[in-house]
Structure 1
Amino acid sequence: MEYITPILTTQRLILRPLSVEDTQEMFHNWASDAKVTKYLTWAAYQYEHEVKERLRFREKRY
C-alpha cells in the first residue's frame, strides 16, 4: 500500500512531509531538546547523524 501525504498550504504556513534536507533545522531547533521531546515516543537525539538516518527511513515510507 502506498501512502501519499498531502501538502497543505495557507498564506502563512506550509505543512509537508519531513525530508533529509530538514536534518540540521530539525536537530538544532527541536529534536535535540529534551524539554521539547519529553512527551514524544522517542528521546531527544544526541547527534545530527541520528536525525538524518531517521529522516531517510521516513522518506522511504512516504
Structure 2
Amino acid sequence: MATRVIDIGDGEHVTIDEVGSGGRGLLLVHGFTGGRVDFADHMEALAEAGGWVVAPDLRGHGDSW
C-alpha cells in the first residue's frame, strides 16, 4: 500500500492510500468521524480481487488539510 499527499491548491492537501493498478477503480470513502485508516485491513484483499483501490482522508479528517 502506498500513501500519497496530493496538492489541491490554495495550501490544501488530500492524503490517500492506494493499492493495486489497472482494472476497475474502487473509491472507499469514510464517514463523518472516520479516516482512510478505517479501510487499511481490507484494501489489499480488494485489490487482489482485481483493480485499483483508493481511500482518501477527506478535507479536515486524518492527514488532509
- Which TM-score tier does this pair reach, normalised by the shorter chain? under 0.3
Give the TM-score of the pair, scaled to structure 1: 0.25
Structure with bigger helix share is 1
Q: Which has the larger radius of gyration?
A: 1
TM-score normalised to structure 2 length: 0.24
